[in-house]
Amino acid sequence: MARRKKEYTMEDLLQPEMMLHLYIQGAFPMADGEEEINWYMPEIRTVIPVEEFNTPRSLKKFLAGSGFEYKFDTRRLDVIRNCAARDETWISERLIEAYSNLIDLNFLHSVETYLEGNLVGGLYGITYRGAFFGESMFSKVPQASKAAFVKLAERLKEKNYYLIDVQYQTEHLKMFGAREVSFEQFAGLLNEAYKREAEF
């Protein structure tokens, strides 16, 4: 007698071990309203190999005199909530709750930008071995999220990471060296990333 294929509920897919498994396969979640959360694996993916990350010269000059300070993983949930604080957001309360479980297991990390002691920008993502799956960023003052992104790249290079997944291409990301690849190419890059032992 053939076994019936298990059907997973949304709650099943938001358990931390299952979430991590889905990220490792190349999927990512997005909320559709407060109740529904779906997982996506687009045929075209946007990535930045860590060694190819580019910081524009004008941004380097700005950051040198910006007065920004940076921290890692000190206010991870605050960063997520700031990313969600928009008129239209794919980060629902239920997804924030699921992300908090990944924080507890130390698979979710944040880069935070401070100005005069205040959190003014940042980003967060999920890590597995040599891959960083970027999720979202926010900025309360000009260039604060870009600053966090530059610090992220520096950190990943220092810690032997291989790949940054940024999901979809934007002009904002293109300046940093983001490029589109097929999902097949993306899977190959992930396999290379998973050969590396890396800790954020």
Q: Which residue ranges form the domains of the chain, and what is each CATH number?
A: 42-193 (3.40.630.70)
For residue 12, the model assigns a pLDDT of 85
Q: How far is CA 69 from the centre of its chain?
A: 20
Interatomic CA distance for residues 22 and 123, integer angstroms: 21
Residue positions counted in the chain: 200
pLDDT for the residue numbered 73: 98
Whether the pLDDT of residue 156 is over 60: the answer is yes
Confidence of residue 111 (pLDDT cuts 50, 70, 90): very high
Q: What is the pLDDT of residues 36-56, one digit of tens each?
A: 899 999 999 999 999 999 999
- Look at the alpha carbons of 71, 86, 93, 108 in this order and tell me if their dihedral is positive or negative: negative
Per-position DSSP letters for 58-127, written without gaps between them: HHHHHHHTS--EEEESSSHHHHHHHHH-SSS-S--HHHHHHHHHHHHTT-EEEEEEEETTEEEEEEEEEE
The pLDDT tens digits for 72-85 are 999 999 999 999 99
Summary mean pLDDT of the chain: 94
